[in-house]
Amino acid sequence: MLAEGAWFLADPDEVVLSVEAVGEELAALDRQPNSRVLLAWRGRTLVGACWLRGGRLRRVAHEASLELMVLAEERGRGVGRRLLSRAIGWAEGQPGLGRLVLAVMADNERAVALYRAQGFVEEGRRRGSVREADGRERDDLLMARTLRPAEDSLSRGG
Ligand SMILES: CC(C)(COP(=O)(O)OP(=O)(O)OC[C@H]1O[C@@H](n2cnc3c(N)ncnc32)[C@H](O)[C@@H]1OP(=O)(O)O)[C@@H](O)C(=O)NCCC(=O)NCCS
């Protein structure tokens, strides 16, 4: 999937982890109470994945960063929307979580539309944060979605 280039930061030759190492990392993530890995299958083929990586330190443990991807030939059929909405549903059931955050290339219209439709708002734009091999610079957007009303966190504060 990384060979597509456009929507992922890592080029294929920059991914040095073995399949086993990735499996172990995802399994470890799934054991953290503020983190989760969701997989979408068509038969026995893995067609999509969404993971939430919760903050490890106490002050940021209420926030999880989200990543989402669907196999190229399976896109446009609702797999991404269903995975994202299941991830949000899971996160909303975790009392310790209050925010989901993500970074997405600003020109990734499909992903940005999907995130907006599911309640994510833009919190910032990093200009030229990605530089392609030909020198062309691209922006990315920082987006976030609150999981509970802000007054909850205010009343918890001190
Ligand atoms: C972004 C991605 C996860 C979306 O998954 P998907 O299965 O293709 O998306 P869906 O079919 O569920 O469509 C979800 C929404 O995307 C939007 N969308 C779908 N196709 C679109 C297109 N061609 N152009 C613009 N928006 C589009 C729509 O808002 C759609 O919602 P709707 O069906 O209610 O109208 C998938 O395209 C992907 O893996 N892309 C490469 C990796 C990537 O960009 N990941 C996100 C990086 S942060």
> Using one digit for the tens of pLDDT, what is the confidence trace for 49-103?
999 999 999 999 999 999 999 999 999 999 999 999 999 999 999 999 999 999 9
Q: Mutation test of ligand 1: which of 110, 129, 143 has the most ligand atoms closer than 8 Å to its C-beta?
A: 110
Would you say the CB of residue 80 lies under 6 angstroms from ligand 1?
A: yes
128: CATH:
3.40.630.30
pTM of the model: 0.87
- Integer Cα distance of 38 and 5 in angstroms: 23
- Helix crossing, 79-92 with 109-117: angle to 10°? 40
- Integer Cα distance of 77 and 82 in angstroms: 10
Q: Whole domain around residue 62: which residue ranges?
A: 2-156
- Integer Cα distance of 29 and 12 in angstroms: 22
- pLDDT score at 155: 52
pLDDT above 60 (res 158): no
Reported as a pLDDT band with limits 50, 70 and 90, residue 132 is very high
Rounded to the nearest angstrom, the distance between the alpha carbon of 158 and the centre of ligand 1 is: 40
For the chain, how many structural domains are there in total? 1
pLDDT above 70 (res 2): no
